[in-house]
Amino acid sequence: MLSIVVTPIGNLSDITYRAVETLKSADLILCEDTRHSAVLFARYGITAPTRAYEKFSESKQVEKIADMLAEGKNIALVSDAGTPVISDPGNALVKCLKARGLEYTVVGSGCAAISALVLSGFDASSFCFVGFLPEKDADRKRLIGRFASLRSTLIFYIAPHDVQKDVAFLGETLGERKACLVREISKIYEDKIDFLLPNIPESATLKGEMVLVVEGAVESEALNKLTVREHFEKYISDGLDEKDAMKAVARDRGVHKSEIYAEIKKRN
């Protein structure tokens, strides 16, 4: 298994017992900078072999590392400070492991949203935390209208009894997108369920603490080839109200919403 280990961002005492144990027992530790990590390792008597794993050269190493994991090695990944993958090395490796069906987990994080983003394997270079969806439909549509056209990965908190309803709603408003339901983070039954909105697998276990990660909007070039009216009506059909639909069209086209408003009203 690959363990993505969160390390202190400042005070070296800010590390979990499990993180230290994981690093001590690893067959190999991948470090963004081995010299930087050596200070932390010396503090806690961590003597496992280390190897440099830099963001700009990771694509050259991922397959070899995946091969080692497939052979049964336990490997840990650390960045200079904080959570790997988040503006640090690791995203390419996680994507490779997902594609090959190899196991990986996050160790030492105190934030479910960030852990779920890392575990999802989705783009972590830009993301937006949305939180829980409101109960009322009007409030839901108003909220999601602010994020529908964002190209950043979206992160939602979700209650087990709301999964089916929330996934159906997001499918209606965001369209068919890649999604990953991450549940029971750091627990025995930690699970990652990949699917396309809104078709969550019937076999999925919908129990425990959950975070839903959804890929960002695709490039808007195709929408921008439509007329302004067609572009606007596409968002209306997705469930947005007129105001939010106009805002979304304006964002896609890089113009002020008043221009879209004028165009729509002119043709009414």
Q: What is the pLDDT of residues 25-35, one digit of tens each?
A: 999 999 999 99
Domain of residue 205: give its range: 127-214
Pair (91, 183) in one structural domain = no
Give the domain CATH number at 93: 3.40.1010.10
**Domain for residue 28, yes or no?**
yes
Total domains present in the chain: 3
Name the band, by pLDDT with cuts 50, 70 and 90, for residue 145. confident
**Domain for residue 122, yes or no?**
no
Pair (92, 147) in one structural domain = no
pLDDT of residue 220: 58
How far is residue 189's CA from residue 181's CA, in Å, rounded to a whole number? Answer: 13
Structure pTM? 0.80
DSSP state of 219: P
Pair (227, 170) in one structural domain = no
Coil/strand/helix, residue 178: strand
Pair (201, 228) in one structural domain = no
Cα 107 to Cα 15, 61, 229: the distances in Å are 10, 22, 49
Pair (160, 259) in one structural domain = no
Pair (134, 209) in one structural domain = yes
**Domain for residue 115, yes or no?**
no
The H-or-E segment that residue 30 falls in is strand 28-31
| Residue that terminates a domain, selected from 181, 199, 214 | 214
